[in-house]
Amino acid sequence: SISDRIRQRSMFHVSFLERFAESLGNQAKFSTAFHPQTDGQTERTIQTLEDMLRSCALEWTGNWDDYICLVEFAYNNSWQASIKCAPFEMLYGRKCRAPICWDQVGERVIEGPEMIEVTNEKVAVAKEKLKEARTRQKSYADKHRRSIEFQPGDRVFLKVSPARGFRRFGIKGKLSPRFIGPFEILDRFGEVSYRLALPPQLLHVHNVFHVSLLR
pLDDT in the model for residue 111: 59
pLDDT in the model for residue 115: 66
Q: Say which DSSP state 94 is in.
A: S
CA 12/CA 6 separation, integer angstroms: 10
CA 5/CA 114 separation, integer angstroms: 53
Nearest of 25, 43, 92, 10 to residue 210 by alpha carbon: 43
The answer, yes or no, to whether residue 181 has pLDDT greater than 80, is: yes
CA 123/CA 201 separation, integer angstroms: 55
- For the segment 115-144, what is each residue's pLDDT rounded down to a tens digit? 667 667 777 777 777 777 777 767 766 666
The answer, yes or no, to whether residue 100 has pLDDT greater than 60, is: no
CA 73/CA 127 separation, integer angstroms: 9
The answer, yes or no, to whether residue 196 has pLDDT greater than 70, is: yes
pLDDT in the model for residue 108: 46
Give the pTM: 0.40
| Neighbouring C-beta atoms of residue 143, cutoff 10 Å | 7
Res. 174 pLDDT band, cuts 50 70 90: low
- Please calculate the CA angle 87-93-99 and round it to the nearest 5 degrees: 60
pLDDT in the model for residue 144: 61
- Cβ-count burial 183-210 (b if 16+ within 10 Å, e if not): bebeebeeebbbbbebeeebeeeeebbb
Mean pLDDT of all residues in 185-204: 87
Mean pLDDT of all residues in 71-89: 81
